[in-house]
Structure 1
Amino acid sequence: MRPILRYFSPSFQHFCNYLLLSLLVVSRGYAAANASPVADTMRVQPNLEEIFIDPAYYSVLQDPTGQLSLADVQLPRYTAQFQRGDSIPTNMENPGAAYWLRLVVHAEGPLAQHWYLELFDSHINDILFYPATSTERGAIHTGADQRLTSRKFPYKNFLFRLPLDSNRTHTFYLRLTSNSKTSFISRLRTEQPLAVHFQTEYGLLGGFYGVLLIMVVYNLCLYLFIGEQTYLRYVVYVLSCSLVFLSEDGLGFQYLWPDYPALNQLVIAASPILLLLTFSYYARQFLDAPQRLPHYDPIVRSVVLLSVGVLLVDTLWLHSGWGFWFYLLPYGMLYYAAVQVWRRGFRPARFFLLAHALVAISVCFLILRKLGINNFTNTATVYSMNVAFVIEVVVLSYALGEKIKGIKDATIRAQDKLVKQLRKKHQAQDMLVEQLRQNQELKDQLNTELENLVTRRTEELRQQSETIAAQNRELLQANGLLALQSAAIEKLNLDLERDLHAAKAARVLSKEVDFGEFSQIYPDKDACLTYLANLKWADGYQCRKCGHEKFCDGREPHSRRCTKCRYVESATAYTLLQKCKFSIIKAFYAVFLIYTHKGSYSSQELSRVLDLRQGTCWSFSQKVTEAMRRRRQAVDFDENEGWTHVLLDATGASEEENMLYDGATVVRLEK
């Protein structure tokens, strides 16, 4: 414009220059009026040792492109875009974008110690700290994506020394980039309180991890000595808790994997998911949810697995930053399961509820920090989760011990009951032995009397030799009497054997028979099949396909083949023992135990008695219990009937075979 103004008079040139200067002043005043308010200057005084950096003391500029440099952000158009920290959220709302923090510090008076800037959030991926505004030389580049050696101070948080000169104002810039919603919370400290803070913080954290290690070793030893699987699940749960805290407070990256930042990111993302799995794995076992809540437990297991899948998708691909909300539903359902189990009389569940109520309160503080609500953020709330987990592991260890003690007391009571049953059994055996002794004495007495009678009759025959006919009649009478006595003795022996067998069979109808004594009544598979076949065809044989009533022996033992249609039916077909996967003797004894205990015999005890898997015993118990229920609903049910009536429950037959059987019956009735 100046080449054009030279053609005008000097007075006009001065007027134009004045006009341009006025427009420039007005435009700058307008821009200053519309710019964001400037952040307050933080003042460092000699009598201060640490200062919490309030959001009002720093300004924030969001760089969505991530291409701005230190020189760029100091240009007027970007300087005007800085916003005070108390006018925006105190965390990074857009993960992946670059955020520039501008901090103005004025040092008043002589400084006796060095000042340090500490960023509390150890999850910030990339950090550039510029100690000077005139050049990028001397900038410190660190972050969670860098090795620990990139930090000048090998500390779990990010620590930067501020080069402050007395009675001067300094401006510092930080460029922050993070993949998650991290916060801007920070503090200024001098050397002495920083050293005291290090000792206190590391001492408390060492005590915290020491308690977790003691709980791990203690419960692992209990598992090795006792073999109770709940202790092992508890150890895995505590280890996953330790992994979460090591990734959350940065100690894991500082001491365990300082040269592997990628592993650190993996642990940060995966440890909460692992904690959810191990907690549900432990909590369901501790609460006996599969047994106490058989309908609710499969839903909980499905929700946990679905939540884990959603969290994995969010961690690997979506990166929404809101994944922690997916933890609330499975944890809430597990807590509800604990309430239900406690209401049903499981006393150790109250410790579970107490411990996890404290953890839930500390998690609420964590969620508030994730949402950028820092009204409750202080030392107590930040470390409240550590305290809650220490209390939790101690309380749950005690609760686990109480649960094992309850199981032990129940075992002792069962043993006492078994001892009483054995005592009654021995008393019955003593009575049986006494009865046999009396029977033997009676037989000896009878033999003695017979001998005396024979002697007397023989002497009478010698003395009475009047006639041969009389002697023959007396001899015939004596022989007949001997025959009658022998028959009486034989009948008595048969009665004794029958009474002995009846006594044993009568004991089978009680609850006081162990497997060994039961096996004497049904010693092998053939005896069981014989009994089952006689019980099944007690009213006569009838073919299920054609209704024919004549049969011959089948290829399998105790099976019957129809002589008309050649249909073969085994002894176990259409009974409760159809397709039974284990020994028929054990199946007989299992039906006997469950029936005599009215369906309240536990699968654990049945597994121990029969030496079978608990899952197999539980499935068979459900089958027997259902058969008992149907038997009680039958019209011909008798309260005093024996357990063998349950064996004829035809739950193994298919609907097609039942239809064939009904059709054959109709044909037979029409005939």
Structure 2
Amino acid sequence: MKNRIRLFLLVWLSSLTLVQAQHTIRYQRASELIEMGSYARYFEDTTSLLSHIQISKLPDRLFTNSPDKVLNLGFTPSRIWLKWDLSNQTNEPVYAILEAQDVDFVDAYVVSEDTTYFLETGVLRPFTNRFFGINSITLYLGRHPKHVYISLKDMNGLVLPIKLGSIQPIVQKVYRETMINSFVSGVMALIALFSFFMYVSLRDRTFLLYTLHVVFSCLTLLTFEGYLFDLLWQDMPYMNNGINSSLIRLFTLLTSLAFSVNFLNLRAVYPRIAQAYQGTAVLAIGVVAAKIVGVQQAEMVFNVVVLITFLSFLGLGLVLYRQGFRAARFYLLGWGIYIVEILLLVLTLFNVISFDHVFTYYGYQIGAVCQATLLTFAVMDRINLLRHDISQAQELALKRLEENQNLIEQHSEVLENQLSQAPSAPSDELQQVLRMIREERERVKKIPIPTMESVLLFPADDIVRIEAMGSYTTVHFTNRKELVASRSLAEFEQVLADHDHFFKVHKSHLVNLKYITKYRRGDGGTLMMSDGSEVDVARRVKPDFLRKMGLES
């Protein structure tokens, strides 16, 4: 009997030792980072009043083993205490780095052979409490840590990757993430500046709404990664109370709604959907207001609203693209990638998928930069489509204008011929009428001037001179305005062949003789034009020019 009891005690002690060994992190290579989540045991302090000393004295049976490699503690108002047993088998001191930078309260109690301390940090604590002055929370564990207790409390969902490592891999990780976040923020800042410049230039409201959406998307990223706290208000931790973060995310959603309604022209195409989006905006504002006043489940509801809204963008873009709205293709791609990444992040919050691969860990960065880039293509493509439609409308209007002009000229010629063929000799009054008809016909007769975007019609008498500029020309008008035309000087010379008052005085200049104010003699001579310009006369054309002007000596 005694032998059986001894055997039972031996098996029980062995099992305890085996379980304890399974939960002990053994850090063996100083060049690597170890995920701590699967080794964690956690205890939920529903009172949020227990101290770190009281927690350290609790028996292990009150702690629950973590089922996940990346800790996902969901939405809870309680304080969660995590416990680890460690064994550092290297000669380097080790650190624990928390990869979620927006946790409200983080308390750490480290028990080590060479250091034992208690630290209070988190985004609602002074920035100076951090061991390293960076956006990521890093805990110094010493060279020979035994036990680590970390408590977490946050009004948002607690998805928390925690890694263990020496200083070298920790620095490499922080540097890599800083470079990635800097690149993404830089791209979004450039896109926002470009969009705002396009809004100022074109006064198209779509660009303004898109600029605001990109700005708030970038601010959302900077909030998640802790850079706003690090760069803007280190001495004001109360700015991280969750209200600012919620408001930034709310404005990101609202600007995406406004941009989509405007870009897709939903008020005209689908007015009911536009009204539904207005209702969605009101609902989102109400949910965020409830979160601010302390409703715990409001954060989860807001995430659901965001997810459903973004999925509707994807479906709407697909419908419009299939109906022939070409600009929806980049819109569809941009929102498609962004929505997939947001969907992955939301699924991690609900513990459906893990947070430990690149498409969830860098999900928001990937989605934000792809969305910003592709939606920029979508906006520019929309502008090109509008320009194409306007150009076609202008061409049709110019064609009708030219037809009307030709009809007026024909009527004028018929009237002139009938008056000229009168039986008796024309009187002075009739001669004056005929002269006025001819002058008026010449005055209103217009010539086409092609530009980079369309073809414009101007009366020939409005042109002072035409200056060659390679295969292009610059047309100077009587009101001192000028226009770059995609037509060579030789082509203009052919178009104006029927206009006697235009003369090519130089290989680079065609002038309207009516607007010459002065001729200065010289080798070829120089013309003073009514717009204040001076034009040289080529020596080879000087005799013809003087004969044309009646200046032959």
Which residue matches 2:295? 318
Match of 2:200 among 211, 224, 242: 224
Which residue matches 1:61? 43
For the 8 Å contact 1:51–1:188, the answer to whether it is kept is: yes
C-alpha root-mean-square deviation of aligned residues, in Å?
3.2
The 5 A counterparts of 1:551-566 are none
Query: 1:249 and 1:331, CA in 2 relative to 1: closer, same or farther beyond 3 A?
Result: same
> Does residue 157 of structure 2 align to residue 175 of structure 1?
no
Which residue matches 2:71? 90
Which residue matches 1:152? 131
> Does residue 57 of structure 2 align to residue 81 of structure 1?
no
SS at the partner of 1:62? Answer: strand
Match of 1:41 among 13, 18, 24: 24
Which residue matches 1:273? 250
For the 8 Å contact 1:141–1:150, the answer to whether it is kept is: yes
For the 8 Å contact 2:35–2:69, the answer to whether it is kept is: no
SS at the partner of 1:318? Answer: coil
The 5 A counterparts of 1:72-221 are 72-75=54-57, 78-86=59-67, 90-93=71-74, 95-108=76-89, 111-132=90-111, 138-165=117-144, 170-221=146-197
Question: How big is the shift at 1:319?
Answer: 2.2
Q: Find the aligned partners of 1:354 and 1:337 in 2 and give their Cα distance.
A: 12
Which residue matches 2:476? none
Which residue matches 2:415? 436
Q: Deviations over 1:460-480 (max 9, x none)?
A: xxxxxxxxxxxxxxxxxxxxx
**One-letter amino acid matched to 1:286:** F
Q: Find the aligned partners of 2:304 and 2:273 in 1 and give their Cα distance.
A: 22
Query: 1:269 and 1:134, CA in 2 relative to 1: closer, same or farther beyond 3 A?
Result: farther
Query: When you count strand as a share of all residues, which structure comes out higher?
Result: 2
For the 8 Å contact 2:115–2:142, the answer to whether it is kept is: no
Query: 1:288 and 1:244, CA in 2 relative to 1: closer, same or farther beyond 3 A?
Result: same
Which residue matches 1:343? 322
Query: 1:148 and 1:330, CA in 2 relative to 1: closer, same or farther beyond 3 A?
Result: same
Query: 1:201 and 1:423, CA in 2 relative to 1: closer, same or farther beyond 3 A?
Result: same
Question: How big is the shift at 1:297?
Answer: 2.2
For the 8 Å contact 1:118–1:187, the answer to whether it is kept is: yes
For the 8 Å contact 2:36–2:69, the answer to whether it is kept is: no
Which residue matches 1:258? 234
SS at the partner of 1:257? Answer: coil
Residue segments in structure 2 that go unaligned for 5+ positions in a row? 1-7, 427-553
Q: Find the aligned partners of 1:364 and 1:432 in 2 and give their Cα distance.
A: 70
TM-score (norm 1): 0.57
Q: Find the aligned partners of 1:94 and 1:437 in 2 and give their Cα distance.
A: 91
SS at the partner of 2:133? Answer: coil
Q: Deviations over 1:29-57 (max 9, x none)?
A: 999999x96561111225553211142x2
For the 8 Å contact 1:50–1:188, the answer to whether it is kept is: yes
Q: Find the aligned partners of 1:413 and 1:258 in 2 and give their Cα distance.
A: 57
- Please say which structure displays the higher CA radius of gyration: 1
For the 8 Å contact 2:37–2:69, the answer to whether it is kept is: no
Q: Deviations over 1:554-579 (max 9, x none)?
A: xxxxxxxxxxxxxxxxxxxxxxxxxx
Q: Number of aligned residue pairs: give it.
A: 415
Query: 1:194 and 1:75, CA in 2 relative to 1: closer, same or farther beyond 3 A?
Result: closer
Q: Find the aligned partners of 1:295 and 1:379 in 2 and give their Cα distance.
A: 39
Q: Deviations over 1:566-608 (max 9, x none)?
A: xxxxxxxxxxxxxxxxxxxxxxxxxxxxxxxxxxxxxxxxxxx
For the 8 Å contact 1:369–1:377, the answer to whether it is kept is: no
Question: How big is the shift at 1:89?
Answer: 9.7
Percentage of identical aligned residues: 19
Match of 2:277 among 278, 291, 300: 300
Query: When you count helix as a share of all residues, which structure comes out higher?
Result: 1
Residue segments in structure 1 that go unaligned for 5+ positions in a row? 1-25, 450-671
For the 8 Å contact 1:121–1:184, the answer to whether it is kept is: yes
SS at the partner of 1:121? Answer: coil
Q: Find the aligned partners of 2:56 and 2:173 in 1 and give their Cα distance.
A: 35
Query: 1:88 and 1:232, CA in 2 relative to 1: closer, same or farther beyond 3 A?
Result: closer
The 5 A counterparts of 1:482-501 are none
Q: Deviations over 1:232-268 (max 9, x none)?
A: 1111110010011011111222112222223222222
Q: Deviations over 1:169-223 (max 9, x none)?
A: 6112122222222134200121111222222221121111111111111122222
Query: 1:135 and 1:82, CA in 2 relative to 1: closer, same or farther beyond 3 A?
Result: farther
Q: Find the aligned partners of 1:125 and 1:427 in 2 and give their Cα distance.
A: 78
The 5 A counterparts of 1:497-516 are none
For the 8 Å contact 1:130–1:136, the answer to whether it is kept is: no
For the 8 Å contact 2:56–2:149, the answer to whether it is kept is: no
For the 8 Å contact 1:128–1:142, the answer to whether it is kept is: yes
Q: Find the aligned partners of 1:298 and 1:127 in 2 and give their Cα distance.
A: 43
> Does residue 344 of structure 2 align to residue 327 of structure 1?
no
Question: How big is the shift at 1:296?
Answer: 3.0
